[in-house]
Amino acid sequence: MIIGLTGSIGTGKTTTANIFKELGAVIIDADEIAKGIVKPQSLAWQEIINTFGNIVCNSDLTINRQYLGELIFNDTASRERLNQITHPLILEEINKQIQEQNNKIIIIDAPLLIEAGVHWIVDKIIVVITTRDTQIKRLKLRNFLSDLQIEARRDSQLPLEIKIERADYIVDNNGNILETTKQIKRIWEELIKHDETKTSK
- Residue numbers in the known binding site for ATP are 10-15
Q: What is the DSSP string of 3-29?
A: EEEEE-TTS-HHHHHHHHHHHT-EEEE
Q: Give binding residues as ranges.
A: 10-15
CB 128 within 8 A of CB 12: yes
Query: How far, in Å, are 99, 110, 150, 190, 194 from residue 2 at the CA level?
Result: 11, 13, 31, 14, 11
Query: How far, in Å, are 18, 20, 36, 103 from residue 174 at the CA level?
Result: 17, 18, 31, 33
CB 3 within 8 A of CB 105: yes
66: helix, strand or coil: helix
Query: What does the angle CA 24 – CA 107 – CA 83 come to, to the nearest 5 degrees?
Result: 150
Q: Indicate the DSSP class of residue 40.
A: T
